[in-house]
């Protein structure tokens, strides 16, 4: 767990390094002075941006969208509750991102903590595995889309792609993939709803809600096929790490 914390907080290392400087007043490269209160403000601001960084550069987006669509397809309203879905998504994200986190820790965090490399080198080394992970999941068409929007005509290879384009393309690709998986998950439950609705109509029971009747059948089907293992296993295997 400590490796995960080190990897996720690596982007905060520049602020942490300023916060440890003595004396309390720090002089910047252009001559301005920063007080301790300003350093704490910058650090807290970076901490508030950490969840956005997790959403933007990890497997969390695809997982939480698929789980939300699955709950909608089952028709169970708030079951599982949002906290449970978030917990499943977070822990599955850590599981999928373990190779990337280990690489960040070994190449960037550990050498930095041993004072073997500078903050700039540590940041560069930390970004490289995340960049590789995102590129492996991103479609070329999405990268081309944002390259055209940014009017970047100087990109000749993968190494030339700016991180802003990589993250933007990654987010769009994750949304597209998540909805594709969600569509496939939704179909069998939709078929059950249609069958139950047709049976109720043929029996003249139009006042009875089809959702109320189909819900036990959908839950039974999901349990019989070991649905949670199938969904989570498919999600984990859909990433290239």
pLDDT at residue 148, rounded to an integer: 85
Range of the domain at 222: 57-237
Domain count, the chain: 1
pTM for this model (two decimals): 0.74
Asked whether residue 229 is assigned to any structural domain, the reply reads yes
Asked whether residue 64 is assigned to any structural domain, the reply reads yes
Judge whether residue 66 has pLDDT over 70: yes
Closest CA to 70 of 174, 212, 176, 178: 178
Q: How far, in Å, are 38, 68, 72, 189, 212 from residue 76 at the CA level?
A: 47, 11, 7, 12, 10
Q: What is the pLDDT of residues 132-187, one digit of tens each?
A: 888 888 888 888 888 888 787 777 777 778 888 888 889 999 999 999 998 998 88
pLDDT at residue 37, rounded to an integer: 64
Asked whether residue 79 is assigned to any structural domain, the reply reads yes
Q: Lowest mean pLDDT of 75-79, 96-100, 141-145, name the range.
A: 75-79
pLDDT at residue 179, rounded to an integer: 92
Asked whether residue 176 is assigned to any structural domain, the reply reads yes
pLDDT at residue 5, rounded to an integer: 43
Asked whether residue 46 is assigned to any structural domain, the reply reads no
pLDDT at residue 201, rounded to an integer: 78
Q: Lowest mean pLDDT of 10-19, 78-87, 115-124, name the range.
A: 10-19
């Amino acid at each position: 767990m400590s490796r995960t914390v080190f990897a996720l907080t690596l982007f905060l290392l520049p602020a942490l390094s300023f916060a440890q400087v003595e004396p309390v007043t720090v002089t910047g490269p252009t001559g301005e002075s920063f007080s301790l209160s300003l350093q704490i403000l910058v650090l807290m601001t970076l901490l508030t941006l950490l969840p956005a960084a997790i959403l933007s550069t990890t497997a969390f987006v695809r997982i939480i969208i698929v789980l939300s669509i699955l709950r909608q397809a089952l028709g169970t309203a708030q079951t599982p509750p949002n906290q449970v879905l978030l917990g499943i998504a977070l822990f599955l994200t850590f599981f999928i991102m373990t190779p990337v986190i280990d690489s960040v820790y070994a190449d960037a965090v550990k050498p930095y903590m041993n004072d073997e490399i500078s903050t700039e080198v540590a940041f560069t080394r930390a970004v490289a595995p995340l960049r590789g992970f995102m590129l492996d999941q991103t479609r070329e068409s999405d990268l081309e889309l944002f390259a055209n929007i940014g009017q970047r005509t100087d990109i000749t290879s993968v190494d030339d792609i700016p991180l802003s384009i990589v993250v933007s393309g990654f987010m769009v690709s994750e949304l597209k993939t998540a909805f594709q998986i969600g569509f496939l998950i939704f179909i069998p439950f939709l078929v059950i709803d249609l069958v139950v609705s047709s049976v109720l109509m043929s029996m003249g029971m139009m006042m009875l809600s089809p959702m109320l009747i189909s819900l036990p059948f959908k839950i039974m089907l999901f349990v019989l096929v070991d649905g949670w293992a199938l969904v989570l296993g498919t999600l984990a295997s859909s990433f290239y790490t």
